Amino acid sequence: MRRTAVRLYKNGYSTMIDKKIDNDKFDSESGYCRMLGHEVSFSYCRIAKNNMPCFKIMDCWFDRLPIADYMQSNYSEEEIEKIIEKPPSKITTLYDLIEQAKKRAANNKT
Protein backbone atom coordinates (compact mmCIF):
# COMPACT_ATOMS: atom_id res chain seq x y z
CA MET A 1 0.00 0.00 0.00
CA ARG A 2 1.18 3.49 -0.77
CA ARG A 3 -0.34 6.85 -0.06
CA THR A 4 0.09 9.17 -2.99
CA ALA A 5 -1.23 12.26 -4.68
CA VAL A 6 -3.15 11.58 -7.86
CA ARG A 7 -4.18 14.04 -10.53
CA LEU A 8 -7.55 13.25 -12.05
CA TYR A 9 -8.57 14.72 -15.39
CA LYS A 10 -12.29 15.06 -15.93
CA ASN A 11 -14.07 17.53 -18.21
CA GLY A 12 -10.84 19.48 -18.63
CA TYR A 13 -10.26 19.99 -14.90
CA SER A 14 -7.59 18.47 -12.72
CA THR A 15 -7.65 17.82 -9.01
CA MET A 16 -5.05 16.61 -6.56
CA ILE A 17 -6.30 13.99 -4.11
CA ASP A 18 -4.75 11.61 -1.65
CA LYS A 19 -5.58 8.00 -2.31
CA LYS A 20 -4.51 4.66 -0.89
CA ILE A 21 -3.51 2.34 -3.68
CA ASP A 22 -2.90 -1.37 -3.69
CA ASN A 23 0.26 -1.29 -5.82
CA ASP A 24 0.78 -5.07 -5.69
CA LYS A 25 -2.70 -5.96 -6.93
CA PHE A 26 -1.43 -7.22 -10.33
CA ASP A 27 1.61 -9.09 -9.02
CA SER A 28 0.25 -12.52 -9.94
CA GLU A 29 -0.15 -11.55 -13.62
CA SER A 30 2.57 -12.78 -15.93
CA GLY A 31 3.66 -12.31 -19.50
CA TYR A 32 6.50 -12.90 -21.94
CA CYS A 33 9.37 -10.44 -21.58
CA ARG A 34 11.00 -9.56 -24.93
CA MET A 35 14.09 -8.19 -23.20
CA LEU A 36 14.74 -11.25 -21.02
CA GLY A 37 13.30 -13.87 -23.36
CA HIS A 38 11.10 -15.63 -20.81
CA GLU A 39 7.96 -15.25 -18.70
CA VAL A 40 8.05 -12.68 -15.92
CA SER A 41 5.47 -11.69 -13.36
CA PHE A 42 4.15 -8.16 -13.01
CA SER A 43 5.75 -8.13 -9.56
CA TYR A 44 9.13 -8.16 -11.34
CA CYS A 45 8.19 -5.49 -13.90
CA ARG A 46 7.13 -3.01 -11.22
CA ILE A 47 10.52 -3.17 -9.41
CA ALA A 48 12.86 -4.04 -12.31
CA LYS A 49 14.74 -0.71 -12.39
CA ASN A 50 16.26 -0.06 -8.95
CA ASN A 51 12.98 -0.90 -7.23
CA MET A 52 11.03 1.21 -9.73
CA PRO A 53 9.11 -0.07 -12.78
CA CYS A 54 10.83 -1.13 -15.98
CA PHE A 55 10.84 1.63 -18.63
CA LYS A 56 8.74 -0.62 -20.92
CA ILE A 57 5.99 -1.31 -18.39
CA MET A 58 3.43 0.76 -20.30
CA ASP A 59 4.23 -0.96 -23.63
CA CYS A 60 4.25 -4.48 -22.24
CA TRP A 61 1.09 -4.39 -20.14
CA PHE A 62 -1.29 -1.97 -21.85
CA ASP A 63 -3.32 -4.73 -23.54
CA ARG A 64 -3.79 -6.84 -20.42
CA LEU A 65 -4.01 -4.42 -17.48
CA PRO A 66 -5.27 -0.88 -16.85
CA ILE A 67 -1.61 0.08 -16.69
CA ALA A 68 -2.08 3.81 -17.32
CA ASP A 69 -4.48 4.06 -14.36
CA TYR A 70 -2.14 1.92 -12.27
CA MET A 71 0.84 4.18 -13.02
CA GLN A 72 -1.09 7.40 -12.40
CA SER A 73 -2.38 5.99 -9.13
CA ASN A 74 0.98 4.88 -7.82
CA TYR A 75 3.49 7.39 -9.20
CA SER A 76 3.64 11.13 -9.67
CA GLU A 77 3.86 12.60 -13.16
CA GLU A 78 7.55 13.34 -12.57
CA GLU A 79 8.18 9.74 -11.51
CA ILE A 80 6.34 8.39 -14.56
CA GLU A 81 8.40 10.59 -16.88
CA LYS A 82 11.58 9.25 -15.29
CA ILE A 83 10.35 5.65 -15.33
CA ILE A 84 9.46 5.58 -19.04
CA GLU A 85 12.60 7.46 -20.09
CA LYS A 86 14.51 5.19 -22.46
CA PRO A 87 17.86 4.12 -20.98
CA PRO A 88 21.04 4.86 -22.96
CA SER A 89 22.01 2.20 -25.49
CA LYS A 90 24.58 -0.42 -24.54
CA ILE A 91 27.02 1.08 -27.06
CA THR A 92 26.68 4.52 -25.48
CA THR A 93 27.13 3.01 -22.02
CA LEU A 94 30.17 1.03 -23.16
CA TYR A 95 31.64 4.11 -24.83
CA ASP A 96 31.14 6.12 -21.61
CA LEU A 97 32.83 3.38 -19.56
CA ILE A 98 35.83 3.33 -21.94
CA GLU A 99 36.13 7.13 -21.75
CA GLN A 100 35.97 7.02 -17.94
CA ALA A 101 38.67 4.31 -17.86
CA LYS A 102 40.89 6.40 -20.18
CA LYS A 103 40.51 9.44 -17.92
CA ARG A 104 41.31 7.39 -14.81
CA ALA A 105 44.37 5.92 -16.50
CA ALA A 106 45.52 9.38 -17.60
CA ASN A 107 45.05 10.76 -14.07
CA ASN A 108 47.02 7.85 -12.57
CA LYS A 109 50.00 8.56 -14.89
CA THR A 110 50.33 12.18 -13.73
Q: Measured between alpha carbons, how far is 35 from 20 in angstroms, rounded to an integer? A: 32
Report, in Å, the least distance between residue 57 CB and ligand SF4.
Answer: 4
Question: Cα 23 to chain center, whole Å?
Answer: 14
Q: Which is nearer to ligand SF4, 48 or 71 (CB)?
A: 48
Q: Which is nearer to ligand SF4, 29 or 73 (CB)?
A: 29
Which residues are bridge partners to 42 per DSSP?
Answer: none
Q: Which is nearer to ligand SF4, 60 or 71 (CB)?
A: 60
* Residue 30 near residue 39 (C-beta atoms within 8 A): yes
Report, in Å, the least distance between residue 44 CB and ligand SF4.
Answer: 6
Report, in Å, the least distance between residue 68 CB and ligand SF4.
Answer: 14
- Which residues here bind ligand SF4, judged by CB under 6 A? 31, 33-36, 40, 45, 48, 54, 56-57, 60
Report, in Å, the least distance between residue 95 CB and ligand SF4.
Answer: 24
Alpha helices in the chain, H assignment, sequence order: 42-45, 57-61, 67-74, 77-84, 90-109
* Residue 61 near residue 44 (C-beta atoms within 8 A): no
